Chain A
Amino acid sequence: MTPEVANHWYPVGMCSGIHGAQATQLLGQSITLGKTGGQFWVRDAGGKALPVIERFGHLWTSPGQPNRDLFTIPEAETPGRRLVDCGSVRVKCSPLRAVENFLDIAHFPFVHTDILGAEPHTEVERYDVDIREEVDEVWATKVKFFQPQAAKSAEGGITTEYMYRVPAPTCAVLYKTCPPRPGEWDVITLFVQPLTEELCEVWPWMALYDDDTPMADLVSFQQMIFMQDRSILENQIPRKLPLDPGMEVPTQADLTSIAYRRWLKRTGYTYGAQVVAA
């Protein structure tokens, strides 16, 4: 495992779901984690304690020496939000493909038909994408899309504005306009735990302004959406994410994906990637 891969923070469990000791995998290595006397811990296969951070309702660790703190999401900390633990869904796909799919808005009408998108509203308008060097993150802003049911709390079709952010190679955060609170963003994240290069545990998490919808409905909505993606993800070919630009002509919708792949390649993040020599 290269330092470019090892020196990141990875999600390995949902804090509210960790009681005794349990075993899982991270980057192809067995690890154990648990909670003793109110303290979370993670150990590698040899029994060595790994660093831990408790954030966004999840437990994070790193098999390497991360040279910076786990990212923060200041918007998710504003008071009045519901923090929604969605559990995990296991998917046979590259962790990078799981993130890339989350960044792709063009699949909404076809995969989340009549919920997050609907024909004939399939057009993705111009939006801005950049790799923000100063924070080392990928951002897409001013993304607009027509949605029949943008959230559990949405009553009818609305044009939703999105921002996408990739703060770490296997994590993505999306900000979307919040129907009950114009001017604020709902926060929906995808934290991907790479079990191996072609198998991941995906932990969605949300911080929403919604005082009315029962928690079980918020969780169901998110799980329904993510399970619609799962069958697509498990059938993608090639299994690993190619980091070298192919022959295909990029469309507007692909711009985020192109920036993401370029950023991964530049930072040497190759776990779950297919790197073909030029």
Chain B
Amino acid sequence: MILYDYVLSASCYKVRLMAALLGVRLEVKAVNFHPARDHKSAEMLRLNPQGTLPVLVDGDLVLTQSANMLRHLARQNAPQWLGEASGQIDPWLDFAGELNASLGMARLHDVLGFDADIVQVRRDGIRQLRKMEAHLAEQRFAGMGFLAGVAPTIADIACFPNTALAPDGGVSLDPYPSIRLWMRAIRSVPGFVEMPGIHRLHELAPAPERSR
């Protein structure tokens, strides 16, 4: 399976993370998205006329939406990641697309200088974070640590990158304790891999000794 990848892309990281958690080996081909804009090269447009990354190629199958890539990887390797009912998962995959358009765009604006209505995309992102915070708090009260149950699913992997990278786009995660616990839970899943801006989990430091 070949992943056409850009190291700083949140959407590409979704796929790298999912594959790592499932123990699937990807052949990663770096595309010079910035500064060369090679995702718009003739060769890449032949593969994906929309000119976006990531692109996943598995034999004859060419996928251009990260949500479909997560579905594909899970279906083939570990169907439990698809959750119990697609009705609980699909809305979060759509929601992940909204996060990409808000927080993801704020980040591309702040880091790589993309044109955006920065006030508007940050405001949209904050509204979505508040919605996710409320949902994750409810989940916790019901004894569930993830978006769609007690175990992580592709919904969590889809929403995690742009959420965790929100500070890169000037949106703080300080006001969202449930989101922070959820991110911690995802980072503790065996096989987790990091990307620039998302650190691996360090072991909790021992409590400082009391001085008196």
A positions within 8 Å CB-CB of B? 14, 16-17, 85-90, 92, 113, 201, 214-217, 219-221, 223-225, 227-228, 230-231, 234
Contacts and interface: CB of A to CB of B under 8 A. Distances in A.
Q: Which interface class (under 10, 10 to 19, 20 to 34, 35 or more) fits B?
A: 20 to 34
Interface of B: 6-8, 29-32, 34-36, 38, 110-113, 167-168, 170, 195-197, 200
Contacts of B200: 113
22 contacts: A14-B35, A17-B35, A86-B35, A87-B34, A88-B112, A88-B113, A90-B111, A90-B113, A92-B110, A214-B30, A216-B29, A219-B30, A219-B32, A219-B35, A220-B6, A220-B32, A224-B195, A224-B196, A227-B196, A230-B111, A230-B197, A231-B197
A216 B35 CA distance: 10
A264 B73 CA distance: 54
B8 A216 contact: no
A231 B167 contact: yes
Contacts of B197: 227-228, 230-231
A92 B167 CA distance: 12
B34 A216 contact: no
B113 A223 contact: no
A85 B167 CA distance: 26
A227 B35 contact: no
A195 to B, nearest CB: 10
Contacts of A227: 8, 111, 196-197
Contacts of A17: 35
A231 B112 CA distance: 14
Contact of B8 (A85, A113, A217, A224): A224
Contacts of A14: 35
Nearest to A221: B7
